[in-house]
A = this chain, B = another copy of it.
Amino acid sequence: MMRLIIEPIVRAALLEDLGRAGDITSDAIVPAGARVEAVIAARQPGVIAGLEAALLTFELAEPTLRIERLRADGARVARGDVVARIAGTARGVLAAERTALNLLSRMSGVATATRVLVDAISGSRARIVCTRKTTPGLRTLEKEAVRLGGGSNHRFGLDDAMLIKDNHLALAGGVRPALERARAHAGHLVKIELEVDTLDQLAEALEVGVDAVLLDNMEPQTLRRAVAMVDGRAVTEASGRISPDTIAAVAATGVDLISSGWITHSAPILDLGLDIAC
C-alpha cells in the first residue's frame, strides 16, 4: 500500500494517543538520551497484516529510529516469532508502542480470521470475500488485511460497483427494471451485482443479464440449484449465516464466492507484543 495513502491514518492514530502533551510518563522518567532495542513478537500463531502501518508509526514518532522488518505482511507466524526490530531512543519507541500494536494486532486479527475461513474451504473452488462491514476509518487497511489472509475484496464503497439489494428492487418495482436502470447508468467499467432471495428472482436476473448474484441466506441445496441455474453466466456469491463450522458445506455447493462480515467486524485481534531490552 502506498505510504501516501496510509500515512494520514497512522498520523491521526498517533496524535489521538499523544493528545496535547505527548507521553508525559516517559518525558518525566526516561532520560532523553536513553536508548533501547525492541522486538515485536507474536504471542499466538496467525497471519501478519498492518506491519507497514505499525512500522510507519515508529518512524513518524521518531524519524531517527532504526527499523528492521523481519517478516512481510501476509506471513504466517508461530507463537514467539519476531516480526520486526526497532532500535533508538527509548522515548521514541515508548511513544509509538501502543498505537503501532493497535494497528498491527487489529489488522493481523482480520488477516488471521480470513485465513481460518480460507483454510476451511481449501480444496473447493470458492473464495472468501469481505463486505463493507469494516471499521470506520480503517477500510483501506482492513481490505488489504483480507487479501493478505488469502481472501478477495468485495467493492470498496458505494461508488466503485453497483450492488442492488432488496430495497432497491422494491423501489424500482422488480428485478428487470432495477437491472435495466443500473445498466443504463453504469459506466462500462462498473460491474453490477444483484442480491436475490429466491430462485425466481435469480431466473429473471439471468434473463436480463448481470455480472454477479448474491445468493442471500440460502440453504446449501438451494445454493446448489442456483449455481446450476447460473451455469457460469454470472459470478455466484453466497452470503449469510457463514461460520467456520458451516462454511465447508456452503463451499461444496459450487459457489464462486462466500462473503463474511465477521472477518472485519468481529474478528478478535492477533496478540502481538513489544519486548524491550533497555
Contact = CB atoms under 8 A, between A and B. Distances in A.
B187 A129 contact: yes
The number of times this chain is found in the oligomer is 6
Interface stretch (A41-49, A78-86, A130-138, A219-227): A130-138
Interface in A230-271: 235, 237, 256-257, 262, 265-269
A136 B95 CA distance: 15
Contacts of A163: 25, 189
A175 to B, nearest CB: 11
Contacts of A137: 9, 12-13, 16, 136-138
Interface residues of A, number: 99
Interface string A10-21: 011111111111
B184 A102 contact: no
Interface stretch (A115-123, A164-172, A198-206): A164-172
A163 B186 CA distance: 17
A70 interface: no
Interface string A194-220: 000000000000000001100000000
B178 A29 contact: yes
